[in-house]
Chains A and B, each alone.
Chain A
Amino acid sequence: AAGVIQSPRHLIKEKRETATLKCYPIPRHDTVYWYQQGPGQDPQFLISFYEKMQSDKGSIPDRFSAQQFSDYHSELNMSSLELGDSALYFCASSLVPVIALGTQYFGPGTRLLVL
Chain B
Amino acid sequence: AQKVTQAQTEISVVEKEDVTLDCVYETRDTTYYLFWYKQPPSGELVFLIRRNSFDEQNEISGRYSWNFQKSTSSFNFTITASQVVDSAVYFCALSEAGDSGGSNYKLTFGKGTLLTVNP
Chain A residues contacting B46 (CB-CB under 8 Å) are 106
State whether B106 touches A45 (Cβ < 8 A): yes
- A42, A51, A96: which contacts B109 (Cβ < 8 A)? A42
Residue contact B104 to A90, C-beta cutoff 8 Å: no
How many residues of A are in contact with the other chain, CB < 8 A? 30
Q: Which residues of A contact B107 (CB under 8 A)?
A: 33, 35, 43, 45, 92, 104
By a CB distance below 8 angstroms, the chain A residues around B91 are 42-43
Interfacial chain B residues near A51, Cβ < 8 Å: 103
Closest chain A CB from B113 CB (angstroms):
11
Within 8 Å CB of A23, what residues of B? none
| Interface members, chain A 68-115 (any B CB < 8 Å) | 88, 90, 92, 94, 96, 98, 101-109, 111
User: A20 near B: Cβ within 8 Å?
Assistant: no
On whether A56 and B102 interact (CB within 8 A), knowing A42-B110, A90-B45, the answer reads no
Instruction: List, in ascending order, chain B residues with CB within 8 A of A109's CB.
Output: 43-45
Residues of A contacting B106 in the complex (Cβ-Cβ under 8 angstroms)? 33, 45, 48, 56, 58
> Is A104 within 8 A of B47, CB to CB?
yes
A96 to B104, CA, bound (A): 8
Chain A residues whose C-beta falls within 8 Å of the C-beta of B52 in the assembled complex:
101
Q: Is the CB of A106 within 8 A of B45?
A: yes
The contact of B35 among A31, A33, A103, A107, by CB within 8 Å, is A103
Question: Is residue A65 within 8 Å, beta carbon to beta carbon, of the partner chain?
Answer: no
Contacts of A31 in B (CB 8 A): 103-104
Q: Which residues of A contact B45 (CB under 8 A)?
A: 43, 90, 92, 106, 109
- The chain A residues found within 8 Å of chain B, CB to CB, are 31, 33, 35, 41-45, 48, 50-51, 55-56, 58, 88, 90, 92, 94, 96, 98, 101-109, 111
15 example contacts (A-B, Cβ-Cβ < 8 A) are as follows: A31-B104, A42-B110, A42-B111, A43-B91, A48-B104, A51-B103, A58-B106, A101-B97, A104-B35, A104-B47, A104-B105, A104-B107, A109-B43, A109-B44, A111-B43
Give the 5 A-B CB pairs with smallest separation, nearest first: A106-B45, A42-B109, A56-B104, A55-B104, A50-B103
